[in-house]
Structure 1
Amino acid sequence: MEEIQMVSIWVGIADEQEKAESLMEYVYDEDGNALAPEFVRASSMDDTYIDEDFVEVSFRESTSFLTDLITGHSYWESILPALLNRIDDKLLYKMNTTVLIYDFAYNGHVFDVTIDGVRMFYIGAVPFKET
């Protein structure tokens, strides 16, 4: 669901950077029609077009801290405090991949997605402020 000034955040673990970066890549059929990325379909977001310009995907050194995964992304200085008001900085598992979808509040029922060596967990949607 499109929601201005909200960002939906998924964190996870990927065994390769290329696999992480391909999570949100659109593919096209023989007629030139855009097909939703497999991650979008698997997480039940496929009824909504997600503009690639409003998505950030990162692959980093594995960490047990949410702060390490969020720092450096667009608007991270407003996103991180909002997240840490909801969840603990210490993650249950080491993670290395982050997907941020801006101006989108995920309201689906799938919170854990595994695709081709990448496992992602939805951690929430929080407001962000453009600085």
Structure 2
Amino acid sequence: MEEEEFVSLWVGNIQTTEELNRLLAVSYSDEGDFVPSIFEKHFEIRRYEDAVREAEYYDSASSDLHQLLEGFSYDDKIVPRFEKLVQVELPSDINAVVLLYNFKYTGAIVEATIQSNYLRFLGTVEYQ
């Protein structure tokens, strides 16, 4: 759900950067109708503003949330907030991050395995 000044975070293990792009790609039908991405379908997200999405695939996996989020927009604010929010140790095979800004995910689906790819919703924090 769109909501100003919030950012929602997913992390996971994705096979390749091309695969991450494929999971996040939206399209349009021949009639011009919006076709949601595979990511949106699996997490039952109706739609988000693509311009405020940031995603990254890492060649080296990590379980260090600070390292995974470093360099993203508002990282000085969101890193400590997500570290406080996420009280569990992450698996060591995390190599992908998806952030949706101005979006407060309230869906019931927390994780999804899509073919050989895995994504988990970690939470939402304010970024302002």
**Which aligned pairs between 1:108-127 and structure 2 lie closer than 5 A?**
108-127=107-126
- Please show how residues 12-51 of structure 1 align to structure 2 within 5 Å: 12-46=12-46, 49-51=47-49
Contact kept? 1:65, 1:89, Cα under 8 Å: no
Contact 1:9 1:98 in 2 (8 A): yes
Q: Which has the higher strand share?
A: 1
Gaps of 5+ in 2: none
The aligned length equals 127
Instruction: Tell me the distance in 1 between the aligned counterparts of 2:115 and 2:56.
Output: 17
Contact 1:6 1:125 in 2 (8 A): yes
Q: Which runs of 5+ in 1 are unaligned?
A: none
After TM superposition, the score normalised by the length of structure 2 is 0.92
Runs of 4+ in 1 over 3 A off after TM superposition: none
Partner residue of 2:54?
56
Q: Percent identity?
A: 27
Contact 1:19 1:117 in 2 (8 A): no
Cα 1:111–1:89 shift into 2, 3 Å: closer
Over aligned residue pairs, what C-alpha RMSD do you find?
A: 1.4
Higher helix share: 2
